[in-house]
Amino acid sequence: MYKKFLIIIVILLAIVLLLFGFIKIKISMPGIFPPKDNITRLLNNTSQLNDKLTDYNEQIKDQIDQDELNTQAIKLEYYQQGPLTLPRGFSISVFAENLGKPRVIINAPNGGFLLSIPDQGKVVKIADKDGDGKAEEIKTIVDKLNRPHGLLLKCYDENQCQLYVAETSQVSLFDYDLVNDQALNKKKIIDLPDGGGHWTRTIIETPWDEREKTQLLISVGSTCNVCNETDWRRAKVLIADLDGNNLREYATGLRNAPFMAIHPVTGNIWVTEMGRDWLGDDLPPDEINILAEGQDYGWPICYGQNIHDTDFDKNQYIQDPCTGKIPAHIDIPAHSAPLGLAFIPEEGWPEDMWYDLLVAYHGSWNRSTPTGYKIVRYRLDAQGNYQSEEDFISGWLNDGSLLGRPVDILIQPGGVIYITDDKAGVVYRVTYQP
């Protein structure tokens, strides 16, 4: 009898522990659970409510004083964004939906956009054919790829374009059929290491150099959380000729630099970088780095402002082992998981936003209190020096419920931004009207 009672107690205790663990996981790892609600529906409902509030404001504007009218305008702005909060003058809508897990977005050569969808092994084109702000066309241009991520389009004239696709295990080059929107004649030009914890590969073209040539930059993350890599291509940004030849190191000590962007004034290469895990909720910081060829950015033994990672590196040194390594240009709160970054151009944008940087925080997966899940604006001067920062779009994480995870950012002249979301499976369109 006593043994049965003890068994029941043990079973009940196990159930309580499992339940507690599930609740803790759900609170600290919202990214692993499906969205609680549909962001498209929420934003569509907001748009309808906005129309009603606009009509209401028109009806009452002659009956209330200016202060009350201003209050109504503030409410109107709030409702216009639905669950998301944006600065005044901006609005957001779903441009394309039901995309799976879209990641990188670039301009297509003949209108519309190209998206990589790694988990489906394909690249698609999306386009707004009727100009209503929503994509009617979603077309696969190439499939059967190995987790394609980075995309680079290079057009030599109006009739000849090539598409570079950074797959997990290689960089592939395609001829782009402008008439039928197809990527054809696949050719592997660079071998990359497969497997490991960081599988994304991103690719951009460098600015023109003194020889009036450009090259390819390819980011390759580490295999691990923190370790000494054995493959020379890991935890680096690599550089190669446009045909894939002459592959070599460009910058080292980069645990996982998943996205890159070129500063519009200086031409410098900026990257986001994810710091290691399991040093607590607040260490180490994630980073924004400015790359220079031949420089070491610290991983695995240094992070942030050249802080020595003594949890990993137990060696004793006569001098600081981080001396000579490049500290982060900007520290980001730990576990924010910064991904896409893009600079705001001059054309069609307020002057006080010129050259500022937007960064997508994909959000934490193992922090006791979740962080990230937003777009952050970094105010910079024309040379890229840090001034301040502020949330630009937030609200994807609301009371523990996760609606989406922003990934890549494409900023257009004329006050339009496109953002991919691999949690909600959508592309957002953000517009600015002064």
Q: Which of 352, 343, 207, 242 is nearest to 288 (CA)?
A: 343
Average confidence (pLDDT) over 186-208: 95
- Alpha-carbon span 181 to 175, nearest angstrom: 10
Helix (H, G, I), strand (E, B) or coil at 351: helix
- Alpha-carbon span 136 to 111, nearest angstrom: 13
Decide the pairing of beta strands 426-432 and 416-421: antiparallel
Structural domains of the chain, with CATH: 89-432 (2.120.10.30)
For residues 273, 278, 281, 285, the Cα torsion angle rounded to the nearest 10 degrees is -20
Decide the pairing of beta strands 122-127 and 113-117: antiparallel
At 383 the pLDDT is: 97
The pLDDT tens digits for 342-351 are 999 999 999 9
Decide the pairing of beta strands 295-296 and 248-252: parallel
At 120 the pLDDT is: 98
Average confidence (pLDDT) over 126-135: 95
- Whether 78 shows a pLDDT value over 60: the answer reads no
Q: Cα separations (Å) of 274 from 103, 226, 258, 304, 380?
A: 17, 12, 8, 11, 21
Residue type, 111: G
Average confidence (pLDDT) over 378-405: 94
Q: What does pLDDT average to over the chain?
A: 88
Q: Which helix (H) or strand (E) holds 167?
A: none
- Which has the minimum average pLDDT: 91-100, 126-135, 327-336, 396-405? 396-405
Q: State the pLDDT confidence band at 160, using cuts at 50, 70 and 90.
A: very high
- Alpha-carbon span 361 to 376, nearest angstrom: 7
At 1 the pLDDT is: 54
- 0.75 surpassed by pTM: yes
Q: Cα separations (Å) of 142 from 76, 123, 124, 177, 187?
A: 43, 6, 7, 11, 13
- Alpha-carbon span 375 to 191, nearest angstrom: 33
Q: Which helix (H) or strand (E) holds 25?
A: helix 2-28
